[in-house]
Amino acid sequence: MKRFSLRPRLSRLARELPRVAAVVTETDPRNRRRSERVLLQVPVLLEIPQSDGRSLHGDAYTLCVNAHGGLLEMGTRVLQRQKLVLSNPGTGASQPCHVIRCDKSINGYFAVAFEFDNPSPNFWPLVFPPTDWRLVDKE
């Protein structure tokens, strides 16, 4: 079993957050999301199924999340539409998802936008989630 690790330093993350925050507050309707984004750094575990039947396992941190998915940074390149299983070690919850986009970051890692197979607003450990996340529960 291959394993990868990503432990971003908070100082690097602090430099990146203004860039992410600009995306979060986007007002152009073409770039609006189905649910409000939240800047949230959460450690997550990833399982990446491989074509030979084995899986890659590793950890990463989220940068930004919403009820439908999020953005994380990891050290391994993944392909668009590639299936993943994302696990939250804090809650023990797991959700299947797929890669929407994978871009190389300026720091050498990969910024991975992902979408849950089914909306999962309760996956993230938020005491006060955005109000539009409650509407997702009713879909």
Domain that holds residue 129: 3-137
Cα Dmax for the chain? 43
Instruction: Give the per-residue pLDDT at 35.
Output: 76
Spatial contact of 21 and 38, defined as CB atoms under 8 Å apart = no
Instruction: Give the per-residue pLDDT at 129.
Output: 73
Q: What is the pTM for the complete model shown?
A: 0.74
Residue 32 pLDDT exceeds 60: no
Residue 132 pLDDT exceeds 50: yes
- For residue 59, the SS3 value is strand
CATH number at 117 reads: 2.40.10.220
Instruction: Give the per-residue pLDDT at 137.
Output: 58
Secondary element (H or E) of residue 131: helix 131-137
Residue 38 pLDDT exceeds 90: no
Average pLDDT over residues 70-78: 91
Q: How many domains does the chain have?
A: 1
- For residue 127, the SS3 value is coil
Residue 15 pLDDT exceeds 70: no
Burial class, 16, CB count within 10 angstroms (exposed 0-12 / middle 13-18 / buried 19+):
middle
